[in-house]
C-alpha cells in the first residue's frame, strides 16, 4: 500500500543498517569499469531493483569513447631484501587505478617515478587514477616512502585491461507525471567512504523510500561511474532528457561537516529555492555555494550548455575541502551513520517541498475571511503549533493570488514549509482556497 502524495518524510532506517551496508560495499576496488564496479551494482540490486546497463568499449559518447575494462587481482612491491612492503590486499588505494600489468625488478630511482605520496599527510595513502593514460604506479604513505633504501625492487601488478563494457545501474520510479527528478551518484571510487560510498548508500535508501510513496514526479536514480558514466547515460537518453525537471548529485554526505548545497547552473530554479528553504527550516548551520564548471561532479555534464539541466548537489563538506579527501583517511571512521541519516532526511525534505509546492487562489479575497465561524480559530489558545498555523493561514490567504506558490509564501513568512503545507491543506478542506489551476506542483 503506497502513501498518498509524498506524505511521509520520515524513514525507519537504523544507524546499524546503514553501518552494515557501508561495511559491505567499502572493500571493493571500484573503478570506472570492471568487476569491482559490477560487484557493487550487484549488492545495490539486493536493496533496490536497479537494472544494469552496459555500453561496449569503443562506443562514442559525445567527445569521449567508452574505455577498455580494468581488472585487478593483486599487486605488490618487494624491497631489496625480498620483503613485501606494499600489498594491494592491505589497501586498494596502494595501486594507481587503471594500472597496466607489470612484473619486473627495477632500481629504486626508476621505481620512484611510479610512486605517489602525500607529504602533508605523511600517514595517508593518496588515491590516484590513470584512466586514459596507460601507465602503472603505486601509492604509499610518505612515512613509508621516506624509509625506502637504495637497491633493486620487485614490482608486480596482476591487472588486465581488455575490451569489455562500462556498467551502470538505473532505477526508474514512475510517478503521476512524466516529468522527472534525477538523482545521480557515482560508483567509481574504490575504498573511500565519504567520496563516495556515502552517496551510494544514501541514494539506495532514498530510492527505496521514494518507491514506497505515491508521487507526482517520476524519479530516476543513477549509479554511474563519474564523468564517463554521466556522458554514457546522456548519450543513450537524448530523446527523453527534456523530461528532467530537476536533478541532484548525491556525494560526500556522511562526514561531520555542515550541509552544503551547490546551486544549479542558473542558480534560480525552484530546486535551489526548495533546498535553501529546507536548510533554513533545519535550523542547523549550512552553506550555499554556486555552480562551478571548474570544480564539481556530474552536474558539469548534466548542466553543460547542450543540456543545461538544473542539477544541484547537497553535500556535507564538499569534495576537495576536507583534509581526508582522496586519501586512505576518508575511511569508515571518517563518516558516521548519523550524519548520513541527517543528509538523507534533508534530501527527503527537498523532495517533499518539490512534491507539495502548489499555487492556490483565495476563494474569499475581499478582506480576511472569518476563521472563527469555520471552526478554524477557536482552538488556538496557547498551543504553539496552532498559533503557528494561525500565522500560516494569514500568510497563505493573503498571498494565494496565483502568483505566489506555497514555497514562496513559506520563504517570505519564514514559516517552516511543512507548517505552510499543513495550513494550506486545512484551508483547502474549508474551501477558503482552491488550486490556481491544476493540482500540480509549481
Ligand atoms: Zn572523488
Least confident of 8-17, 27-36, 334-343, 432-441: 8-17
pLDDT at 376: 83
**CA–centroid distance, residue 248 to ligand 1 (Å):** 16
Domain with CATH 3.40.630.10 in the chain: 5-66+165-356
**CA–centroid distance, residue 195 to ligand 1 (Å):** 5
**CA–centroid distance, residue 170 to ligand 1 (Å):** 21
Domain with CATH 3.50.30.90 in the chain: 72-162
Rounded to a whole number of angstroms, the distance between the first and last alpha carbons of the chain is: 27
Of the candidates 381, 386, 373, the one whose C-alpha atom is nearest the C-alpha of residue 431 is: 373
Q: What CATH number does the domain located at 359-435 have? A: 1.10.10.10
Fill in the DSSP letter of residue 129. Answer: B
**CA–centroid distance, residue 81 to ligand 1 (Å):** 36
CA distance 139 to 200: 25
**CA–centroid distance, residue 88 to ligand 1 (Å):** 20
**CA–centroid distance, residue 108 to ligand 1 (Å):** 30
pLDDT at 382: 60
Confidence of residue 7 (pLDDT cuts 50, 70, 90): low
Provide φ and ψ at 409, rounded to 5°: -65, -40
pLDDT at 4: 47
**CA–centroid distance, residue 128 to ligand 1 (Å):** 10
Give how far the C-alpha of residue 300 lies from the chain's centroid of Cα atoms, to the nearest Å. 14
Q: Is the pLDDT at 39 greater than 90, yes or no?
A: yes
Q: Which helix (H) or strand (E) holds 429?
A: helix 417-429
Give pLDDT tens digits for 349-366. Answer: 999 999 999 999 999 999
Q: Which helix (H) or strand (E) holds 235?
A: helix 228-236
Q: What is the mean pLDDT of the chain?
A: 95
**CA–centroid distance, residue 57 to ligand 1 (Å):** 23
pLDDT at 8: 56
**CA–centroid distance, residue 322 to ligand 1 (Å):** 12
CA distance 22 to 181: 25
Query: What is the SS3 assignment for 4-68?
Result: ECCCCCCCCCCHHHHHHHHHHHCCCCCCCCCHHHHHHHHHHHHHCCCEEEEEECCCEECCEECCC
Of the candidates 296, 325, 172, 324, the one whose C-alpha atom is nearest the C-alpha of residue 227 is: 296
Domain with CATH 1.10.10.10 in the chain: 359-435
Contact 199, 338 (CB under 8 A): no
Give pLDDT tens digits for 403-422. Answer: 999 999 999 999 999 999 99
pLDDT at 442: 85
Q: Is the pLDDT at 6 greater than 70, yes or no?
A: no
**CA–centroid distance, residue 275 to ligand 1 (Å):** 23
Mean pLDDT of 184-191: 98
Give pLDDT tens digits for 61-74. Answer: 999 999 999 999 99
CA distance 225 to 186: 5
Residue-by-residue DSSP string for 339-396: HHHHHHHHHHHHHHHHHH--EEEESS-SS---SGGGTSSTT-TT-HHHHHHHHHHHHH
CA distance 340 to 22: 11
CA distance 317 to 259: 7
Q: Is the pLDDT at 124 greater than 70, yes or no?
A: yes
CA distance 223 to 200: 7
Q: Which CATH architecture has domain 72-162?
A: 3-Layer(bba) Sandwich (3.50)
CA distance 89 to 49: 31
Provide φ and ψ at 216, rounded to 5°: -75, -50
Residue 61's DSSP bridge partners are 64
Q: Is the pLDDT at 1 greater than 60, yes or no?
A: no
pTM of structure: 0.96
Give pLDDT tens digits for 366-395. Answer: 999 988 888 887 555 566 677 788 899 999
When computed from its CA atoms, the radius of gyration of the chain, rounded to whole angstroms, is 25
More confident residue, 8 or 28: 28
Q: Which CATH architecture has domain 5-66+165-356?
A: 3-Layer(aba) Sandwich (3.40)
**CA–centroid distance, residue 186 to ligand 1 (Å):** 9
pLDDT at 9: 62
Of the candidates 327, 283, 334, the one whose C-alpha atom is nearest the C-alpha of residue 123 is: 327
Of the candidates 135, 143, 100, 129, the one whose C-alpha atom is nearest the C-alpha of residue 114 is: 135
Q: How far is CA 330 from CA 75, 120, 254, 266, 323, in A?
A: 22, 15, 10, 32, 9
Does the CA dihedral 257-309-67-116 come out positive or negative? negative
Q: Which helix (H) or strand (E) holds 202?
A: helix 198-211
Give pLDDT tens digits for 279-338. Answer: 999 999 999 999 999 999 999 999 999 999 999 999 999 999 999 999 999 999 999 999
CA distance 353 to 379: 27
**CA–centroid distance, residue 371 to ligand 1 (Å):** 55
Mean pLDDT of 224-238: 97
**CA–centroid distance, residue 355 to ligand 1 (Å):** 31
Amino acid at each position: 500500500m503506497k502513501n498518498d502524495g509524498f506524505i511521509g518524510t520520515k524513514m525507519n532506517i537504523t544507524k546499524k543498517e546503514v553501518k552494515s551496508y557501508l561495511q559491505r560495499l567499502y572493500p571493493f576496488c571500484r573503478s570506472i569499469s570492471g568487476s569491482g564496479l559490477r560487484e557493487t551494482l550487484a549488492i545495490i540490486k539486493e536493496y533496490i531493483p536497479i537494472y544494469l546497463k552496459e555500453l561496449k568499449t569503443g562506443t562514442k559518447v559525445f567527445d569521449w569513447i567508452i574505455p577498455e575494462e580494468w581488472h585487478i587481482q593483486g599487486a605488490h612491491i618487494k624491497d631489496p631484501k625480498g620483503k613485501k612492503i606494499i600489498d594491494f590486499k592491505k589497501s586498494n588505494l596502494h595501486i594507481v587505478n587503471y594500472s597496466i600489468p607489470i612484473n619486473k625488478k627495477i632500481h629504486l630511482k626508476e621505481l620512484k617515478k611510479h610512486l605517489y605520496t602525500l607529504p602533508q599527510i605523511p600517514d595517508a595513502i593518496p588515491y590516484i587514477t590513470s584512466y586514459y593514460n596507460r601507465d602503472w604506479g603505486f601509492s604509499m604513505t610518505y612515512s613509508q616512502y621516506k624509509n625506502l633504501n637504495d637497491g633493486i625492487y620487485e614490482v608486480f601488478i596482476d591487472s588486465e585491461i581488455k575490451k569489455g563494457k562500462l556498467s551502470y545501474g538505473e532505477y526508474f520510479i514512475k510517478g503521476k507525471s512524466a516529468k522527472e527528478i534525477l538523482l545521480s551518484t557515482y560508483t567509481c571510487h574504490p575504498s573511500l567512504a565519504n567520496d563516495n560510498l556515502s552517496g551510494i548508500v544514501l541514494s539506495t535508501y532514498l530510492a527505496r523510500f521514494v518507491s514506497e510513496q505515491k508521487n507526482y514526479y517520476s524519479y530516476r536514480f543513477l549509479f554511474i561511474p563519474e564523468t564517463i558514466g554521466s556522458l554514457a547515460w546522456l548519450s543513450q537518453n537524448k530523446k527523453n532528457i527534456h523530461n528532467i525537471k530537476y536533478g541532484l548529485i548525491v556525494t560526500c554526505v556522511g562526514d561531520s561537516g555542515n550541509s552544503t548545497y551547490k546551486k544549479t547552473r542558473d542558480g534560480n530554479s525552484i530546486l535551489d529555492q526548495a533546498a535553501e528553504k529546507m536548510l533554513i527550516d533545519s535550523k542547523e548551520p549550512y552553506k550555499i555555494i554556486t555552480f562551478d564548471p571548474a570544480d564539481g561532479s556530474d552536474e558539469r555534464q548534466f548542466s553543460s550548455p547542450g543540456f543545461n539541466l538544473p542539477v544541484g548537489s547537497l553535500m556535507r563538506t564538499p569534495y576537495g575541502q576536507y583534509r581526508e579527501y582522496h586519501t586512505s583517511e576518508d575511511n569508515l571512521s571518517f563518516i558516521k551513520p548519523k550524519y548520513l541519516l541527517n543528509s538523507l532526511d534533508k534530501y527527503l525534505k527537498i523532495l517533499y517541498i518539490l512534491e507539495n509546492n502548489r499555487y492556490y487562489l483565495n476563494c474569499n479575497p475581499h478582506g480576511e475571511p472569518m476563521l472563527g465561524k469555520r471552526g478554524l480559530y477557536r482552538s488556538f489558545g496557547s498551543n504553539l503549533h496552532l498559533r503557528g498555523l494561525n500565522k500560516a493561514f494569514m500568510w497563505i490567504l493573503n498571498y494565494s493570488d496565483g502568483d505566489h506558490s506555497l514555497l514562496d509564501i513559506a520563504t517570505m513568512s519564514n514559516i517552516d514549509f511543512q507548517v505552510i503545507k499543513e495550513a494550506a491543506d486545512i484551508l483547502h478542506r474549508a474551501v477558503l482556497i482552491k488550486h490556481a489551476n491544476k493540482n500540480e506542483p509549481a
